[in-house]
Amino acid sequence: MASHRKSRPAGTRVAGIRTPALATAALTSVALLSQSADATPAADGVPSLEEVEKKVDALYRQAESATEKYNAAKERTGKQRKRVDTLLDDVARRTQKLNEARDELGSFAAAQYRTGASAPDTATFLLADSPQDYFDQTQLMSRLTTRQKGAVDDYVTEQSATMKKRREAAQGLQTLTETQSDLHTAKATVQRKLSDARAVLSRLTAEEKARLAAIEKEKREKAAEEAAELAKRQAAEKAAQRQPDTSASLSSAPSSSSGAYSTKAQKTLAFARAQIGKPYVWGATGPDSYDCSGLTQAAWKAAGVSLPRTTYDQVNAGTTVSLAAAQPGDLVFFYDDVTHVGIYIGDGMMIHAPKPGAYVREESLYYDGESAIHSVVRPA
């Protein structure tokens, strides 16, 4: 995904570290440097710091949404292109059969012309050299008529089928054109939004940028503490599950700490760990770079499980479980619009492809605050 921030009401925004290209942290440092900034434009027309923050946040959220639309359009375009290719191949085969049927009809017409064949009648009988000649001609005409009728029927049937396939192919090409247009639009939107956000951030001062490392370190430490708390809660829930008198009140999540799911999860995590350090690239599915859903799709594919391409679809590709019941291998989704996903590895940590300019890494589930967590899904 391009960015990963959840919209919050003005005045209650919790700045996270997951927005691309230093956006949130940089803007937080600006706020620290200028705590007296208003929400209204300055007299010289320069936007206030709050306006800048809202603008950058909106740009990355729009880029994030456009990235998922791009991924979906790319998938639809690929499927539609295969369908159109199949239709066009079918049209070509049917056209060849139609031409062969037409040639057969032409051969009958030529035969009739050469023999002067027409419907036998009394005059034909009288003009025949002999009665045998008449009967021979009658039999020939009977054979020609029967075979010709069959050829005509075949031609009409094939012509109708060919025309139907041609219409389907034309409709398929129109749909393909539309999906390609959607793809190009989404791509242009992502690029434009990211470019606009970078332009805004480029105006930050050196002093503001110098504060970023300290701000991000503080947030990572806080996120690590929250991850540790989650690990404690999960341990407590597992202990409670071992108590017969309380088991009925626990989460109804399927038990899969061992067996087939555990085996698949181990393969998934092994793949994901091997990708650590590779760059985030929006729209990428590997092997050299990934966006967030591209990474989760590839990781579970390594375990023999096929996931859909987008976060919108992946969130429905399994069983939803509680955060306290999360197990290694589960997918953790973020934000109300479900635009980011990571792979849970245990102890409140995950592996994910965070944002442009970053690399696949291990990170706390709480890297953008607890409220950013949308749901946990067990895909197999």
Residues designated as active site: 292, 340, 352
Question: DSSP string covering 126-192, please?
Answer: HHSSSHHHHHHHHHHHHHHHHHHHHHHHHHHHHHHHHHHHHHHHHHHHHHHHHHHHHHHHHHHHHHH
Inter-axis angle of helices 260-274 and 292-301, to 10 degrees? Answer: 130
Q: Are strands 331-334 and 319-321 parallel, antiparallel or unpaired?
A: unpaired
- How many CA atoms lie within 13 Å of 215's alpha carbon, on the beta-carbon side? 24
Measure the CA–CA gap between 121 and 147, rounded to whole angstroms: 21
Query: Are 87 and 168 within 8 A, CB to CB?
Result: yes
> Long-range contacts of range 78-82, CB-CB < 8 Å, 24 or more positions apart?
80/172, 80/175, 80/176, 80/179, 81/176
Quick check: helix, strand or coil at residue 205?
Answer: coil
Query: Are 61 and 194 within 8 A, CB to CB?
Result: no
Q: CA nearest 75: which of 340, 355, 313, 343?
A: 313
What's the N-to-C CA distance of the chain in angstroms? 23
Backbone conformation region of residue 347, classed left if phi is above 0, alpha if psi is from -120 to 50, else beta: left
Beta bridge partners, 340, equal: 334
Measure the CA–CA gap between 179 and 231, rounded to whole angstroms: 44
Segments in the chain forming alpha helices (H): 23-33, 49-115, 122-127, 131-201, 206-210, 212-241, 260-274, 292-301, 311-314
Q: How big is the CA angle at 2 (ends 348 and 312), to the nearest 5 degrees?
A: 70
